[in-house]
Structure 1
Amino acid sequence: MAMSNTLRNRLIAAAGGGAMLIATVFLGGKDGVEGRVYEPYKDVAGVWTVCDGHTGNDIIKGKKYTDRECDRLLNADLQPVKQSVDALVKIPLGEFQRAALYSFTYNVGSSAFSKSSLLKKLNSGDVTGACEEMRRWVYAGGQKWRGLMNRRDMERSLCLAENANDLK
């Protein structure tokens, strides 16, 4: 699935603001890849989730979250992801590639990313092969999910983009 024109335009506008801003735009809000949800729900793996994919014991079931609260949660959730990815990646990357890795790691977790063949390929210099590895991560709760397939396709496109003109 290709990313929407709205999301593509928001990413192009964020270009030059750094990988963290691009990842925040990619993940956040109603047009983000996560699809902002204001009321807590159980995701496909049975994990309580809210906003842009936030999970944790701090979720208040039955509460309706605001955009401001969701923005804060996303920013706080992305900080440790950024630190982890930046520490694990040993080669120089463009801002779109790094943003794709932040999104991917936000979704699968830093531990899974640290042990992945994706990271091994990346650090060996095979950036294209690493980006292609994202498409393998489409299972949750033992099942293949269309939503994860769509997300990985968009992350892959972001990962392969060398500049804003490459966004698909």
Structure 2
Amino acid sequence: MALSNSLRNKLIATAGGGAMAIAVAFLGGSNGVEGREYTAYKDVAGVWTVCDGHTGPDVQVNKKYTDRECDNLLWKDLQPVKKSVDGQVKIPLGEYQRAALYSFAYNVGTGAFTNSTLLKKLNAGDVEGACDELRRWVYAGGQKWRGLMNRRDMERSLCLAENANDLK
């Protein structure tokens, strides 16, 4: 699945803000890949989730969250992801490539990212092979999910983009 025009434009507009700004734009809001939900729901793995994929003991099941609260949760949630990814990637990457890795690690967890073939290929200099690895991560709760397939395709497009002209 290609990036929608609205998401592509949003990503291009945030490029000057660095990889974190791109990741927030990619993940958050009404047209982000997480799909913002203002009330808590159980995800496909049965985990209480709200906003742009926020999980944890602080999720309030009967609360309606605001955009500001969701934005703050996403920014806070991405900080340890950024630190982990940045500490483990040993080769230079563009902002879009790094943002794709933040999105992926945010979704699968930093432990899974750390132990992934994707990271091994990336640090060996095989960027295209690493980006292709994203397409293997489409299972949740033992099932293959169309939503994860679409997300990984979008992350792969971002991962392969060295600049805004490469966004597909």
TM bucket by the smaller chain?
over 0.9
Size of the alignment, in residue pairs? 168
Distance in 1 between residues matched to 2:99 and 2:162, nearest whole Å: 12
User: Which digits, 9 at most, give the CA deviation of each residue in 1:116-163, with x for residues without a partner?
Assistant: 000000000000000000000000000000000000000000000011
| SS in structure 1 at match of 2:38 | strand
Name 1:43's counterpart in structure 2: 43
Give the secondary-structure state (helix, strand or coil) at the position aligned to 1:16.
Answer: helix
Residue 114 (structure 1) aligns with? 114
CA distance in 1, matches of 2:62, 2:155: 31
Counterpart of 1:63 in structure 2 is 63
**1:20 match:** 20
Deviation at 1:4, TM superposition (A): 1.0
Cα deviation, residue 3, structure 1? 1.4
With the length of structure 2 as denominator, give the TM-score of the two structures. Answer: 0.99
Question: Matched residues, percent identical?
Answer: 80
Cα offsets for 1:84-103 (capped at 9, x unmatched): 00001011100000000000
Superposed CA deviations along residues 34-57 of structure 1, whole A, max 9, x for unmatched, are 010000000001010000000000
Deviation at 1:166, TM superposition (A): 0.8
Which residue of structure 1 lines up, in the alignment, with residue 159 of structure 2? 159
Q: How much has 1:2 moved relative to structure 2?
A: 1.2
Post-superposition shift, 1:62? Answer: 1.1
Aligned partner of 2:100: which letter?
A
- For residue 15 of structure 1, report the CA deviation from its aligned partner: 1.1
Give runs of ≥4 in structure 1 deviating > 6 Å: none
State the one-letter code of the partner of 2:98. R
- The runs of 5 or more residues in structure 2 that have no matched partner are none
Counterpart residue type for residue 42 of structure 2:
K
CA–CA distance in 2 between the matches of 1:48 and 1:139?
18
Q: Which residue of 1 aligns with 2:84?
A: 84
Structure 1 unaligned spans of 5+: none
Q: Give the TM-score normalised by the residue count of structure 1.
A: 0.99
Give the 3-state SS of the residue equivalent to 2:102 in structure 1: helix
How do residues 124-143 of structure 1 correspond to structure 2 at under 5 angstroms? Answer: 124-143=124-143
What is the RMSD of the two structures over their aligned residues, measured on CA atoms? 0.5
Which residue is 1:147 aligned to?
147
- Tell me the secondary structure at the aligned position of residue 97 of structure 1: helix
